[in-house]
Amino acid sequence: MTDKPIKLYTLSTCSHCKSTKTFLNECTVQYEFVDVDLLEGEERKAIIEDIKKLNPRCSFPTLIIGDEVIVGFKEKKIKEALGL
Amino acid sequence: MDAEKLFEILQKVQEPKGYYFNKDRAYVLELLSALILNKDRYGYMACPCRLASEDRDADRDILCPCVYREPDVKEYGSCYCGLYVSKEWNEGKVEEEYIPERRPPEKMGF
């Protein structure tokens, strides 16, 4: 099991984002997530800029496990990055 | 408008065009509820799997069904969200794979 920090950028309405959250919950790993569509104003702008640096298409979910960026719900890749 | 009603309305229009709802009905109803929520939030049914700019004109390519549905269903058997699929996809004849975002970054209105 990884001790790398895990950060997840999501949309509250997106099916692939929901699947990713469910999957991470099942893996019982600790992670932080932000539903970007629920943010407003400056906070939203700042987070979008952060995401664009990691994933220029700014698509969701964008998952960061340590130094690795995984775009989309890719179960196999996520497992590998988590060391499962 | 509830998701069940929207399902009925859209199915009648989209199936004759060759676009079928994903066979996972619960998954579809969740996405249709998200579309109804987006209509309430933004005034238009923006794709639930993409960040809306809250400007209808800037988001016209991602009004559901988005302009990327046709090439995505053609190439992958499913739209980006997995809401609309081909008949073959529902029959399990197409391998399910992750559909990359086709929308060009410069189209993002935020």
Digit-coded pLDDT (tens) for B32-64:
999 999 999 999 999 999 999 999 999 999 999
pLDDT of residue B108: 85
Distance from CA of A65 to the nearest CA of B (A): 19
Global pTM value: 0.93
Print burial letters for B70-102: b (CB count within 10 Å at least 16), e (below 16): eebbeebbbbbbbbbbbeebbeeebeeeebebb
**Which residue has better confidence, B22 or B94?**
B22
Yes or no, beta carbons of B48 and A11 under 8 Å apart: yes
pLDDT of residue A1: 67
Backbone CA torsion sign across B64, B68, B70, B73: negative
* Interface with chain A: mutation pick from B36, B44, B50, highest number of A CBs within 10 Å: B50
ipTM field: 0.91
Helix, strand, coil in percent for chain A, rounding step 5: 45, 20, 35
pLDDT of residue B95: 87
A6-62 confidence digits (pLDDT tens): 999 999 999 999 999 999 999 999 999 999 999 999 999 999 999 999 999 999 999
